[in-house]
Amino acid sequence: LAYLVVEMFQQYAESCVVVLSDSKWVKAAERDWKNASIRPGRIVGSIKELLKPAGFGQKTKAGKPKVVIVSQPGTAALGELEPYAEELGSAAVVVLLNPRKEPEGYFTAFTLQDNPHPDWAGGLLFQAHPGLWVLGAAGNSGAVKVHGTSNRRPTLDEIDAGFEKVSGDTNWFSGGGAAAALRRRSGAPSEEAATLS
């Protein structure tokens, strides 16, 4: 995902810093980006490393970055990033990729989550800001079918109820399965079982 975001900001590639939360990812990214036509100015393994000046021989423009891409930041990393992001102000864009928790003051610009409910295998949850949240699942043909939309992110209970409703669809028009790729995981309680007990 970081590769795609760097491409989105390719005109600022030299002024772009990518923060990956694992040293193995940093090594892999450096190897993969080494001869790429579009690559970030710096790739670092932590926010603390981001705050250090670029080392000798690193190909970066002088000054502060214009784009900071942080992959999978946890609570501690977000705490370290906050004062730096405030210091950069509107002179830079800070992109958080798959944060473990959405921090205050940020909003989700794009979401595509497979298996959005722990009790269900299959299904997708999608949203591109400022659009609607979309819940879907693959049908018999393999194409994803939209089964519901909402102005806000659906709760797990709402996702469960929606999947329960469409998983039993045997309508002739849907080809005997509007959500053929959707199934309840073994050991997960079904709505029907909960009503019987």
The 10s digit of each residue's pLDDT in 37-52 is 888 888 888 888 877 7
Residue 57 has pLDDT above 80, yes or no: no
* Residue 102 or residue 41, greater confidence: 41
pLDDT category, 64, cuts 50, 70, 90?
confident
pLDDT in tens, 147-180: 889 999 899 999 998 888 887 766 555 454 556 6
Instruction: Give the pLDDT confidence score for residue 81 in this predicted structure.
Output: 87
pLDDT category, 84, cuts 50, 70, 90?
confident
Instruction: Give the pLDDT confidence score for residue 169 in this predicted structure.
Output: 66
**130 cis-preceded (ω within 30 degrees of 0):** yes
Residue 67 has pLDDT above 50, yes or no: yes
Three-state secondary structure readout of 35-90: CCCCCCCEEECCHHHHHCCCCCCCCCCCCCCCEEEEECCCHHHHHHHHHHHHHHHH
